[in-house]
Structure 1
Amino acid sequence: MRAELPLRLARTAAFAAVCVTLAALAHAVSGGSTPAPWVAALGLGAVFAPALALGGRERSTATINVALVCAQLGLHELFGGDDGTGYVAAHLHGRGFGNDVGMLLAHLTATALTGWWLARGEAALWATLRRLVRPLVLLWPPPLPLARPAATVVVRARDVPPDPALRHSVARRGPPLPA
């Protein structure tokens, strides 16, 4: 089953909001600064675009976790580069993943838990949609043909067009023959 645009937008918005919130909370809890609102909005847009491209159908747990890890890596660099001056520069914050193992473990742990949570929600959403859509499809009336064939007008018995299935049959009318 494919997701139409309203469902894709809702799923994408939920995924992007979870990614950005998770990255901002991880930075705040681990001793970093919280990102400026415009930086968070930039991160939201950066996550929203690829998530919308991937949101056309149900995704597996592995796909969701890989997308979440990639989003977290990008958001970590984006949020870590915000030094409060309004300029965002990657790797200038001095605390990259290689220098701060605690930040790496915090991101990966939160990403694994959130990925599992999003995957369970994804499976529940698609199971619910399948259960709701199937009965509706069965109740939906079949489409009527646009043009109906014209009925044959019968004036006499010999004017009846022969049915191809009955072309080789014999019609015997009358009482049964004596045995």
Structure 2
Amino acid sequence: MPKIVDHDERRRQVVAAAWRIIAAEGVDAVTMRRLADELGLSNGALARYFPAKADIVGAVFSAATDATHERFLAAGGDVLTGSKALRALLHEMFPFDDVTRREALIVIPFFDYAQHNERLQRIWQDFVELERPLLDRIFDEMVLEGTARPDLDRTTALDFLFTVVSGAQANPLLLPETGTEERLQALVESVLRALV
């Protein structure tokens, strides 16, 4: 009888293996051959799930952003409002602990890899568009509660947040002293103050 393969589980295994390699050695260490060997697959079998390295990098990035969003919801993100919701979201995006530092190790090389790959650029654009309604809701709530100025430009505020988050993820990789809980918490509070 032929072996039944759970294709979704196999994709998760490939993503998990690629994530481990990227976090430990960087995106350049991920090759189709290495992943196939690590998972006991042929190159052809791996290519059925992810035809190219860019597909794997995109899937790992998506897994990292999904994990961030799931933690935000688990922390009450679906019921928190305004500044409390933004504080909780930033806490999950900034590299406060081993989990979020590991995600930063995925996100930062994704940007480098994506600058020359239109498919990966679309993944980032889709992520931003998916986050926009949540952040628009948070901004509206902050205006109502008086923790954001009434004339807050939502587009500029969104650009500001994504720029700060990217820097907060990248900076501690090279300057570890900027990644202490105290410094990151101060940065979260400075973001909130900047919107008032």
TM range, normalised to the smaller chain? under 0.3
More helix by share: 2
The two structures have a TM-score, normalised by structure 2, of 0.24
Max Rg structure: 1
